[in-house]
Amino acid sequence: MAKEAKKLEEIKTEVAEKVTEAKENIEEKAAEIREQLEEKVAEVKEEVATFAKSGKKSKKHIEEVKAEEARQARKEERKAEEAAAAEKPKGAKPVTRPKLERRGKKYQEAYKLIEKGKNYSLKEAVELAIKTSPVKFDAALEAHVRLGVDPRQADQNIRTTIVLPNGSGKTVRVAVFAPLDVCKAAKAAGADIAEDEEFLKQLDKGVIDFDVLISTPTYMPKLGKYARLLGPKGLMPNPKAGTVTMDVEKAVKESKAGKVEYRVDKQSIVHIGLGKVSFGADKLLENANTFFESLRAQKPASLKGTYVKSVFITTTMGPSISVENLYN
């Protein structure tokens, strides 16, 4: 019993010591926290005393001033770097060859046959264009005419069609969208596609396997929803182009015979193909005369000043030839 009492006394003593030690630790921690809080309070008081609530002595204004000073310092550094880069010696300027020298040998040889600054007659220009064609395939003969019209004006926005007497040299695929009885006549006239509702199903799929589309006035509303598909490709039927007509049979025959459309673009230039080099000079000259007669007939009544400013004849990938202006 005496031993047990002694042991119990020792345990009590040990617990009392640990409790005393824990109390001392808690008091030390509390003292540390109190000191930290007092330091924070002192800092805040000092900051409040240093900065005003607003104006030039406010904290926000002082930070803005420091930021501006830093920005100006960076700006000065950039200027110094640019000045140092400008002082460095630059390399030799790259040598750019003239455009003619960058062309192929055949083009350069063909170009030498054209007298610089000379305006050729239409007949001479056609013959020379055939002679200067640098390609192996059957090139197209093209005419490019700059007009003095303003395409933004409705009466000066030139657009029409002509039938070239010797054709254009292209195989034209003609499609007809019309009633069934008209489609039969169109097929007999040479149309490649002549359908009624079946034609619209192909357009729904985005299938376009034709170069010219002809329709009747009564069927045009059905094509309205396909304007975004056909319009950008220049395939939307148009009364000015003769592709909206009741005489579908005649329109098909004309398209197959070499009917071409020309119009002035935003730069007031008309571009047109007059046939293939293989046609020969006489047939091409006949096609060219037909085009220029049509163009002269299209001169707007409201136009004041020069109608035709310049005319150039060329072949596919060939040099251009200036033509004397006889069509004003």
Which phi and psi angles does 305 have, rounded to 5°?
110, -160
- Average pLDDT of the chain is 83
pLDDT for the residue 89: 67
Residues 6+ apart with CB under 8 A from 247: none
Q: What is the pTM of this model?
A: 0.60
Specify the residue for token string 């799929």: 205
pLDDT for the residue 145: 92
Instruction: Render pLDDT for 177-208 as a digit per residue (tens, 0 to 9).
Output: 888 888 888 888 888 888 888 888 888 888 88
High-pLDDT (> 70) share of the chain, %: 91
Specify whether the CB–CB gap between 150 and 301 falls below 8 A.
Answer: no
So what's the architecture of 171-257 in CATH? 3-Layer(aba) Sandwich (3.40)
Residue 145's nearest CA partner among 289, 10, 20, 325 is: 325
Instruction: Render pLDDT for 275-314 as a digit per residue (tens, 0 to 9).
Output: 999 988 999 999 999 999 999 888 888 888 888 999 999 9
| DSSP-derived secondary structure letter, 209 | -
pLDDT for the residue 286: 92
- Domain residue spans of the chain: 2-76, 116-169+259-328, 171-257
Strand 174-177 to strand 193-195: parallel, antiparallel, or no bridges (unpaired)? parallel
Q: Which residue has the higher pLDDT, 144 or 8?
A: 144
Instruction: Render pLDDT for 57-98 as a digit per residue (tens, 0 to 9).
Output: 677 777 888 888 899 999 888 888 888 777 766 667 777 778
Give the C-alpha separation, 140 to 170, whole Å: 10
pLDDT for the residue 25: 77
Instruction: Render pLDDT for 215-233 as a digit per residue (tens, 0 to 9).
Output: 888 888 888 888 888 888 8
Dump the DSSP string for 110-171: HHHTSPTT--B-HHHHHHHHHHT---SS-PEEEEEEEES--TTSGGG--EEEEE-TT--S--
- 56 has a pLDDT exceeding 70: no
Would you give the end-to-end CA distance of the chain in angstroms?
A: 142
Give the C-alpha separation, 223 to 203, whole Å: 9
Q: Which of 31-40, 122-131, 177-186, 307-316 has the lowest mean pLDDT?
A: 31-40
pLDDT for the residue 16: 75
Give the C-alpha separation, 67 to 71, whole Å: 6
Where residue 270 falls among pLDDT bands split at 50, 70, 90?
very high
Give the C-alpha separation, 92 to 47, whole Å: 61
pLDDT for the residue 91: 66
Q: CATH for 116-169+259-328, among 3.40.50.300, 3.30.190.20, 3.30.70.890, 3.30.450.20?
A: 3.30.190.20
Give the C-alpha separation, 168 to 258, whole Å: 5
pLDDT for the residue 261: 85
Q: Which SS3 state, helix, strand or coil, does residue 174 take?
A: strand
pLDDT for the residue 88: 67
- 273 has a pLDDT exceeding 80: yes
